[in-house]
Structure 1
Amino acid sequence: MTAGTGAAATARTTLLDAGVRAALRAAGAAARKGLGDPALAELVQIRASQLNHCAFCLDMHLTVAREVGVSERKLDLLEAWEEAGDVFDERERAALALTEAVTVPTASGFVPDAVYAAAAARFDEPRLAHLVGLINVVNSWNRLMVGRRIPAGSTRW
């Protein structure tokens, strides 16, 4: 639904340059591979998509998350991960905090040092770089889809 109108969302345009699509797909694949944890990659992409209100990406990443074995409990509680007790381990919590900090910058525009330090304590430098890259790629996809109003489940985008 489109906010406030009650009407089903329709795409403003389905045109996306093939080069842009290929570049983002390649960047996402490289980041996921370097992170080395498909379940965590999906949690990160879902959380960013929740924050960005991207129904298309939520629909897609929730499906993939289930395929790679993310539990329904984690998916159900992801939006409230900070209050979910031990549902998420410390590594997941650090990645989710970093996802939120990169996706919704503070007033200063920077990721808080404590958030970055918590992630750096749980990921080696290459994996942390891939995690930051993945967060940025999913944010780019979210903005491309939200900006063009691509609805969940769309096959034309």
Structure 2
Amino acid sequence: MTARTTYMDEGVRSAMRALSAAAKKGFGDPALAELVQIRASQLNHCAFCLDMHLAIAREHGVPQKQLDLLAAWEEAGDVFDERERAALALAEAVTVLTEGFVPDEVYENAAKHFDEVRLAHLIAVVTVINGWNRLMVSRRIPAGSTEW
């Protein structure tokens, strides 16, 4: 795959990076933030973001078994704890808005595991990675690209 274009306005890139950093900082769990970003990137078929966030997840000590089974997290038994499952369910609901909304039960389950501030930041983490995915997929930026 070759990129359609590698141009990206530096103001947009800087704003997206700042938004991502603020969301992750406020969420406060770098390993789980990487898992939800990877899951959203799987759903959005973004090879560039998958490649990048898998590497970052490893740096944060995310177990390889979680990375291997992330696409089937609902069927992975005790590989993911209840908090991680709640975050992943919310990430999927925010990413795939097929019903036009996030189901109440998904949101309420996440709210059991995250206080209001962390929940807001988790939603922001997912929202930002969805934006990045769309920027990369629409321009066909390949995995590992240094020009984007």
Q: TM-score, normalised by structure 1?
A: 0.93
Q: Spell out, residue by residue over 1:57-112, the C-alpha distance to the aligned partner (whole angstroms, 9 max, x if none).
A: 000000000000000000000000000001001110000000000000132x0000
Whether 1:26 aligns to 2:24 is no
Distance of 1:63 and 1:99 partners within structure 2: 20
Q: Spell out, residue by residue over 1:27-78, the C-alpha distance to the aligned partner (whole angstroms, 9 max, x if none).
A: 0000100110010000000000000000000000000000000000000000
Report the 3-state secondary structure (helix = DSSP H, G, I; strand = E; otherwise coil) of the residue aligned with 1:69: coil
Distance of 2:117 and 2:19 partners within structure 1: 15
Partner of 1:134: 125
What do you get for the CA RMSD once the two structures are aligned?
0.5
Distance of 2:16 and 2:110 partners within structure 1: 24
Whether 1:39 aligns to 2:39 is no
Distance of 2:93 and 2:66 partners within structure 1: 20
How far residue 133 of structure 1 moved from its aligned partner, in angstroms, is 0.4
Partner of 1:150: 141
Partner of 1:81: 73
Distance of 2:7 and 2:111 partners within structure 1: 38
Q: Which amino acid aligns with 1:77?
A: L
Question: 4+ runs of 1 displaced by more than 2 Å?
Answer: none
Whether 1:121 aligns to 2:112 is yes
Distance of 1:110 and 1:34 partners within structure 2: 24
Report the 3-state secondary structure (helix = DSSP H, G, I; strand = E; otherwise coil) of the residue aligned with 1:105: coil
Whether 1:53 aligns to 2:45 is yes
Distance of 1:114 and 1:95 partners within structure 2: 13
Q: How many residues align?
A: 148
Q: Spell out, residue by residue over 1:97-152, the C-alpha distance to the aligned partner (whole angstroms, 9 max, x if none).
A: 00000000132x00000000000110000000000001000000000000000000
Distance of 1:28 and 1:42 partners within structure 2: 11
